Every structure is written in structure tokens, then in C-alpha cells.
Structure 1
């Protein structure tokens, strides 16, 4: 790899002790009624003893566990059609005890802790120069691989070392607010997308105002259901329309919770199997106000649906569906500001390639889509995608990408997009920025590094990343080094002399590659680099080089094979071979294959420069065939 990536030692792992409560409903209904009857028949003193013991055992693990029992009692009462007695007539201790029997703990982080994103904390007060307070989001999974969004907080110092705020013992689920307003236009779109458009749904929508609330929709549906002539299929569809109101909701957390105390857990049927891969971004509106958005994938066990989270303080969150056929795939990421008056988003609408989309409405995305990247190199032949929202730099929008290659290995890459026309690609890495190391490749899904959003701090890019869908860490990269690889040669400081020639350096030894590249650039040459012969072939196919300098001993495709390939394809690009071997037969083999020259390692830079100058001069004069 031709750019230094500094992997930090911090590892984020799930904590199985962090638990929430879930409503637990055993089946069949006869079993439930049996439980209720047993509690009803318990002596009052015995019920109090069991309840008190339960409260002692679990009150230290949850905030206000008695409130949870009361809520779950109410939910059980609503779901049971005929329990055989009036549950509300039971004394409070038995109501709470019933709630306890219909409650179970769920360890939200017990299975995996991965796919992180990092954003600047809204509160940057009380910091020293060079420090930045950050919020990291993670996809946490527990039993049954149900995913939720959890958070960690920390402070980056001037060297981008992260001091992580210790996590609290208690975790809090959000309270769901249902009295929010909905737009008729959005409901119409969702009804059509879900193929629920029929006479009954049109009757309901017609009766609604342009803005309506949760209760108004449910009242309109109830009135339509009173029509006894409705066939069962129509009633089933109306039930699905009723559930659409759950796809847009608001949640709030108590102000006395820390950032790590909060978990966004699936609350609605369309996301009951998981909230996946939130890509958070700090968004600045036209009015200068800052909000935080995150795109995520809602999963119900069968279908995936795109959703958008909006917050300003990470206490109150609005969850909104995203409409449009081109967003119905995983991996969409919002740009941090409007572009030319429109919202912009990265997408992978076909599951393979990267696109930029534009829309005047953040929730509705139409046909204004532009293909910007296709799988080009072997490490990404299966598919490419984004690893979070674009990052604004002076040179353009920096996008961390991912590519999937052989053995379904996920690597990170990068590309640079034009600031005002991001459908124009300025440059992209031809080789991975990060590849799973030996320590990172083992896990629930092997051979994966993945990120959902990076951050600039100082002169470095901070990349939080997941390791094989198991745990997470973060790494840093020099922005200067990254931009040198992404910016084309013609984008250079004013007054810099023109290139003397375009050279491709091929070597699997990173240090040797970078040393020679730096030296040749100082001498006025334009230099591209490749870590092996395969990447070299990909570059040769796309770029016109004046000279190739290649090591002989390399994995995958060595220097001899590269030279033989060029000769068989009648290439006129001269090749200088480098080797650590002193065997004259090896040198003769290279020269017989058509090498213009042969140099031993360690390379004498003066001799190399003389060879490069002479060979390129001969090429220009037409003397070298």
C-alpha cells in the first residue's frame, strides 16, 4: 500500500451486560391465559413477595422497572381478546406481577458491535486547542441478530488519540411519540410503493387533511372497516395502511441520560428485525442551522426499507421514511449540504455501482441519478459502495468507499468528487486504502473492514471501522498523502514545472515503492504506483505511461510475467526491472524478455536517474523500439 494508515489500539466491543427490556408474549393464547389465572389465584401476600423479589433482582439493571411492568401489563391486556376476567380489577401488585411475566431482558450488544460512523458532537465547549468532541454510532446486535443503534462519546486530541467516555451501566430505550403530524403526499407515495392503492385506501386518503395526525388516520381506517361488505383482502390491506403510520415517528430520551445510555431499538413492525448501518452526517441548512441526519436500513425479516433519522441534540429523534425506487437498496448517504439548491445523496441503486442522486425533497428521490463509479480493479470486481457521507475538502468531496473482491473480501477505498458537480469524479484509488489485517479478518463475517462515516480532524482523516462484523476500531490517514493519490497531475501548485515523463512504479515492498516515487517526483517525473503486476495491468490499460519500473519478485503476477504480457501485446513501453538477485541467468532472462535495463536492489538512485533519462530520451527520439 502506498499510503500510510495508522491503526489505533482502541477496540470497541459489545458489552453483554448492557440490557434492555422487551415485551414477551408466550404462545399459544391458552398458555397466556393459564399464566394470568395462576397470578389471579395467588394469595395476595405471595404475589407481593414474588413481585418484591423480582424488583430487587432487576431494579438495578433498568431505570424504573416497575413502570416497564405496568406498560407491559397494559399491552398484554390490549392483545388478549378474552382472558376470562377483568384484568383491571386485579390489585396493583398483581397487575405489576403480570407485567413482569410478560417482560424479558435483551442484551443489545451481545453478538456484535460494528459498522461505526463518527460525527462532531453538537457540544464543543470546554475543549483545548486541537481537541474535538465526537459521537460514534454503532450497529449493535444481540440474540436473533436484531440490530439497533448505540452510541459512544469521546474526545480526539491534536494527535487524534481518542479518549472514550466510559459507558454507563444502565441503558435507556426511547419513548415513542405518536401525536406528530404526517403529510398526505408522503402517505400517497408510500401506499403506491407498497402496492396498497385501492378504492378503500383512496377513500381514506381523500378524507384526510393535507396534514394529519396518528389518531386521525386510525379513525378514518376504523370508519372504513365498519363497512361489513369489505372483503377480507381489503381489510388486510387497510391493516397494512394503518401500520404505515408507524414508519414515521418521533422518539425522545430523558435529559439525564449520557450518550452511551441511549439505544435506538426497533419499535415498529417494518424494522422489527433490525435497524442497520446508520450513516450519520452533520448537515448545514441554507439558513446556517445545523442538524444531524442518518440514513439507515429498516429490516422486517423479509424486506429492506430506507429510513432517515433527524436530530439536533441526540435526545430527540425524528424517524422518517425515504421514498423513491432508486433508494430501495442498502447504502445511501446524504451530502452534508445542498448542492446547486438541491439535496444530494450517494446511492447504490443497482447493488453494484456508486451513484449520485439529487432531489428538492429530502424524503422523495426521483430519476435525477448519475453513475459515478463502477467496479474497476480486482479488489472491487463484485461491487462498490460508499462508507459514509462525503466529506468537504478544498479539493473536492472526499468519499470513503468499499469494494468487494475475491472470497467476498471487503476493502476500503477512496474517491474525490467535484465540489459543485459531484457527478464528476476527480480521482479514485486504484488499490485499497485498507485491507483486513490478519487480526481483523476473523469474525462473524470474515475478511471485512467497513465504515459508515469518517471525520476530518486537523490534517488527518479519522476512519472508524468494523472488523469482520464483530467489533470496531479506528484509523487515521494523512490528508496530504491521500490527496496526492486522488488529485490528477494537472491539479498542482502554480509554477510547478511540467512533468518530464509519466512513470509507473511496480513493487510489493511499500517502503521501496514510496522512496523511489518520492525521488522521481522530485526530479520532475509524474509517478503512479502499483503493489503488484495485476494492479499494474489495470493501470496500463487506462493510462498512457512513458516508462515502467518493476520489481521482479512479487506475489500474484511478477515482473517477468508483466514483461511477457507487454511483449505479447506488442507494447512499446520500455521496462526497467529491479531485483535483489545477483544471478546472471535471472538478468539474462529479463533482458531476453525485452527489458530495457536491469538494476539490482538496493537501487542506486543516481544510476536509476541516468537510466530513466537515457531511456526516455531514446523513446522520444524513436531509437528504442
Structure 2
């Protein structure tokens, strides 16, 4: 087992991190008598019946309770009012306090990371300016879980250097949920440039994502012409069904969330290679739920078929194996972090080295895990699990963030040469 340098930092769940989200109330058709009117119209009618002084007083209490907990809360209430006005066919010419108060009644505060933080992924930051040689700025994604076991994606920014020093940028005082538009199951989301990426939260926005965006696997993808774009595969969970989807962004300001099509996209845990192979997009998938497959496609949004190339082999992974993020290109080949499930459903992390010209050829794999639950990193929401959705190479060292017991996130370094020497 290669030697790991564990870092003391642990990212923990934090119930104090909150965002404003829509509070959904069923909307009944117009024309019903007062006894038949639903809650939404009753709330609106009650606010409209207030005199101006009462409306201002009630809105003042709202601002007193929540104004310093959220950025641009008046704009949030206005956007929510406009949504409800469209649903309820309300007039748009109401005075501003009345609009804001109606919007507030149809919002709620959500603690997006109260239950757990887990399954991180990491990529180089789009902005590498102003850094010392050997230092890299990065973007870290995290799966955050709140009330109702709803999964969202939050981001952190930080810097690492060649000596192994590591620092996360401070979180802003308030978090922001990304707003956007949804058309034909495609979500186009815009992060406000005046807010930091750290503290930005992506929530489910389509029916297919209703119960969560799970296990984002980010990759910095370089096209054949040198263009850089960031992709991220993730699992959309509706509450009854799963599907693979794709995040696309050039700079983490404008993001699109699109469903993937094809028989291979009906499974969890797809990870995109960081460049084309033989002119085609390439993925690692797991069509049978227990083994690894190599997939190629000319269409980034459609994935079919796939070639089996590795299944459970060693005792620590006999139940199933899967990828732990996008392959990392080395001179020696593609370094693929894997997870394995063993006795008593213990999740551990290992690795494989795949041939660069044909990733279906396994040149070496971990006979024992490189990271396994033990002692202080086995207790949590789901015990006996360590898991990652991606690591980052810096020179000949690997910076590895990892989830602990589906509850919190730890960090470690390992030497790539030591790791390759252990692959048999």
C-alpha cells in the first residue's frame, strides 16, 4: 500500500449554510368560490387585502429575520413573485412591498448541507493567473445533503503547491442558489458574477433530478484544437429512477445540465476522459452494476454499448468495482482511481493503469486498497465508506479529496511513482 500524507482538514456538514428556495404550494384554477380556493390563492388574497402600513410592517419583520442571512433577498422575493404572478394570473403593477411580501410567502430557507458532505471531485481552476511556479488554483465540487435527503452540488475554490501546501478560500458569509431556465429537460443556469464560486449551490431543477444531483465527476476537457471546456457527469435521481446527465461550462458562470441518451446512460458512475481518443469521446462506465466498461461515441450526449475490460478480482472488491472519477493522463498510461466493495459492504479506493492507446488494456491494478475505512474515518451517515469522484495530479504527486462515511470530506497526498509501483 503506497504511503499517504493525510491533511488535518475535514469538511463537515454545516446546518448554518442556508439558501432561499421556492416554497411550492398547489395552485388551483381560477373561478372557484372562496371555500374551494386553494392555499396559494388564499395567501395572495390575504396579502392583497392588507393596507399599505400593515404590508410594510409584515415585510419589515421578514427583513429583520432573514435580511442579513441572504444576499439580494429583495431580488429573490421579486423573482418568486413574478413566478407566482404567472401561475396565478396576478397583476404585475402592485406596489413593491406587496410584491416582495407575496414572494416571501412562497419561499423557504433550506439548509443544503445539514446532513452530509461527501464524494468530492477536483479540477484545475479556469483562472491560473498570478500564481507562483508549481502552484495551482483548483475548483472542488461536493455533494451536499440536506432535509429530505435531497442532494445538491456546492463548490469550493483553493490553491495547492508543489510542496503539498493546501488552502481553501474562505466561504462567503452567505450561499447562493443558482437560478436558471428549463426547456425540454435542459437546464441553463447562470451564476451571478458578483458572487464567489465558493458558496455557490446547484439544486435539482428538472423532474428527473427532483430528489438529487449526485456524485458529480468533473473533468477539464481539452479539444483537439486546444479549446478547454469543463464537463461533469452526475446521477440525476427523481425519487424513483436514476439517469446519467452532463454538466457543461466554460468558466463556472454559465452552466448547462443536460440528460444523456443511450442504453449506457441508464447507469450510475460514468466518467469522461479528458480528451478524445482516436477522434472520439471516451467514457468509463459500469453497465452491469459491478464491472468496468470502455465506451466511445461521436456524440457527447449519446452513449451506447461498451466493452467490458475489468471486473471484481481481489477480496477487497469482490462485490463490485467502479470508477472514482475521470482517468488522469500520465506518460505511462491512464491512471484510473477505482472503488471496490468488499465484506460487510466496506467501500475502499484502489487504482488501475490503462494503456494510453487502448484503455481496455489493464497494465496494472491494486491488489490491496490504497485508502480504506479505519478507526476515525469509518463512522458516519453510511459507515465503512471512503469514496471520491476525482483527484488531481500536480507533477508526480496526486492530490486526493475523499468522502468519509458519506458524511464529511478529507484530503491526502500520495506519490504517483509509489502508487504505480504497487499496481500488479
Separation of aligned partners in 1, 2:208 and 2:303: 20
Shift of 1:168: 0.3
- 1:413 paired to 2:421: no
Q: Which residue of 1 aligns with 2:322?
A: 385
Q: Deviations over 1:348-395 (max 9, x none)?
A: 11111011101111111122x111111111211111000000000111
SS of aligned partner of 1:260: coil
Counterpart of 1:485?
Answer: 422
Q: Name the structure 2 match of 1:471.
A: 408
1:132 to 133, 136, 143: 136
Higher RCO, 1 or 2 (CA under 8 Å, sep at least 6)?
A: 2
Whether the 8 Å CA contact 1:154–1:165 is kept in 2: the answer is yes
Is 1:267 matched with 2:267? no
In the TM superposition, 1:510-525 aligns within 5 A as none
Q: CA deviation at 1:87?
A: 4.9
Q: 2:336, 2:181 → 1: CA distance?
A: 35
1:60: how far off?
A: 1.8
Q: 1:50 corresponds to which residue? A: 58
Give the Å deviation of 1:136. 0.7
Q: Is 1:333 paired with 2:271?
A: yes
Q: Distance in 2 between matches of 1:321 and 1:271?
A: 10
> Among residues 163, 184, 194, which one is paired with 1:159 in the alignment?
163
Q: 2:76 aligns with which of 44, 68, 78?
A: 68
1:266-415 pair list within 5 angstroms: 266-367=204-305, 369-415=306-352
Deviations 1:14-45 (A, max 9, x none): 33222111111346863333322322222221
Report the equivalent of 2:12: 13
For residues 454 and 120 of structure 1, the distance between their equivalents in structure 2, rounded to whole angstroms, comes to 10
Give per-residue Cα distances to partners, 1:187-222, cap 9 Å, x unaligned: xxxxxxxxxxxxxxxxxxxxxxxxxxx5xxxxxxxx
Aligned match for 2:192, one of 229, 238, 254: 254
- In the alignment, what sits opposite 1:141? 145
Larger Rg: 1
Distance 1:78 1:126, change over 3 A: same
SS of the aligned residue for 1:259 comes to coil
Contact 1:40 1:90 in 2 (8 A): no
Aligned residues: 415
Q: Is the 8 A contact 2:269 2:323 kept in 1?
A: yes
Quick check: 2:265–2:302 contact (8 Å CA) kept in 1?
A: no
Match of 1:448 in 2: 385
The structure with the largest strand share of the pair is 2
- Structure 2 residue aligned with 1:122: 126
Q: 2:100 aligns with which of 96, 99, 106?
A: 96
Distance 1:259 1:15 in 2: 18
Aligned partners of 1:325 and 1:344: how far apart in 2?
15
Matched residues in 1 for 2:310 and 2:77: separation?
52
1:272–1:301: 8 Å Cα contact kept in structure 2? yes
Report the Cα offset of residue 88 of structure 1.
Answer: 4.5
Distance between the aligned counterparts of 1:25 and 1:343, measured in 2? 40
Change (3 A) 1:72 1:163: same
For structure 1, list consecutive stretches of 5 or more residues without a partner in the other structure: 179-213, 215-244, 489-625
Residue 80 of structure 1 and its aligned partner are, at CA, apart by: 3.9
Mapped partners of 1:92, 1:459: distance in 2 = 58
TM-score (norm 1): 0.64
- Per-residue CA distance 1:126-158 (angstroms, 9 max, x = gap): 112221111110001111111111111111122
Say which SS state the counterpart of residue 55 (structure 1) adopts. Answer: helix
- The secondary structure found in structure 1 opposite 2:276 is coil
Aligned-residue offset at 1:424: 0.7
> Hey, what's the Cα distance between the residues in 2 that align with 1:403 and 1:165?
32
- Name 1:192's counterpart in structure 2: none
Which residue number in structure 2 is paired with residue 4 of structure 1? 3
Aligned to 2:31: none
Matched with 1:607 is none
Partner Cα distance (1:37, 1:175) in 2: 27
Q: Give 1:478 shift.
A: 1.1
In 2, Cα distance between the equivalents of 1:326 and 1:56?
51
Q: Which runs of 5+ in 2 are unaligned?
A: 28-36
1:160–1:457 CA contact under 8 A, matched in 2: no
